[in-house]
Amino acid sequence: MNIEQARFNMIEQQIRPWDVLDAHVLQLLAVIKREDFVPLAHKALAFVDMEIPLGSLALGECMLSPKVEARMLQDLQIHKHETVLEIGTGSGFMAALLAHRAQFVTTLEINAELAAKASENLEQADVYNAKVIIADGSKDLSSYGRFNVIVLSGSVAQIPNDILNLLAIGGRCIAIVGDDPVMRTTLVQRVSETAFETKQSWDTVAPRLSGFAETPRFQF
């Protein structure tokens, strides 16, 4: 396989047609070696338009598809002075993308084995402004302080208020929200201590993040 041609095809045939036109985002995808973050057993799938399994299929642990990661990054419009919290490190690839746009990234991974591998991947990619922490992102995170950007790298039934309260004023949180088969990417911006603005833009489907509450089911 010609890796550089495959990378070019991923950008031109998958990502651009999904309205990802930010030159900085496209350049990052050309520079950061996605294949180095993919498990050895799935290297051939590194540039394919699909989610790549990372751990237990039962837990839905995976890398999101390239176009989803790229469009989330574009929507966030991260600046170099901003701090980022990611929930769901996975392989560390999204953290690497975020780190190249931000001042510092704190990324939480509930699976200790995945966290260790993600740390290794980030170090090998010379990404030193991202720290992987073994933690459950659905629990109380108030001790981490506030962030300019929060990324949920997976889906949730709804974004918990405890997560939104970690945003600094002007901060943004992005997540894939809803229940299969209907999910929408949701961007929430904190405009004051008590006010948030919510925008739902594009549809996609992604595996659940572990630990987050599900939508209550109606019962007779």
Residue 11 belongs to a domain: yes
Token digits for 33? 């070696």
Residue 35 belongs to a domain: yes
**What is the distance between the alpha carbons of residues 59 and 51, in angstroms, rounded to a whole number?**
13
User: Number of folded domains in the chain?
Assistant: 1
Token digits for 31? 């520079």
Q: What is the mean pLDDT of residues 195-214?
A: 93
Whether the pTM exceeds 0.75: the reply is: yes
Tens digit of pLDDT for each residue in 39-66?
A: 998 999 999 999 999 975 545 689 999 9
Residue 209 belongs to a domain: no
Tens digit of pLDDT for each residue in 117-167?
A: 999 999 999 999 999 999 999 999 999 999 999 999 999 999 999 999 999
**What is the distance between the alpha carbons of residues 80 and 84, in angstroms, rounded to a whole number?**
10
Asked if 66 and 1 touch (Cβ cutoff 8 Å), the reply is: no
Tens digit of pLDDT for each residue in 71-102?
A: 999 999 999 999 999 999 999 999 999 999 99
The pLDDT value given to residue 55: 72
**Integer angstrom CA distances of residue 105 from 2, 80, 148:** 32, 11, 10
Q: CB pairs under 8 A, 24+ apart, for 125-129? A: 125/32, 125/33, 125/36, 125/37, 125/92, 125/96, 127/92, 127/95, 127/96, 127/99, 127/100, 129/99, 129/102, 129/103, 129/104, 129/105
The pLDDT value given to residue 215: 73
Q: Residue 59 is part of a domain; what is its CATH number?
A: 3.40.50.150
Residue 214 belongs to a domain: no
To the nearest whole percent, how much of the chain has pLDDT over 90? 90
The pLDDT value given to residue 95: 98
7 or 217: whose pLDDT is higher? 7
* Residue-number span of the structural domain to which 159 is assigned: 3-203
The pLDDT value given to residue 38: 95
Residue 213 belongs to a domain: no
E strands of the chain, at which residues?
A: 52-53, 62-63, 83-87, 104-109, 130-134, 147-156, 167-179, 182-190, 196-203
The pLDDT value given to residue 213: 86
- Beta bridge partner(s), residue 115: none
Residue 46 belongs to a domain: yes
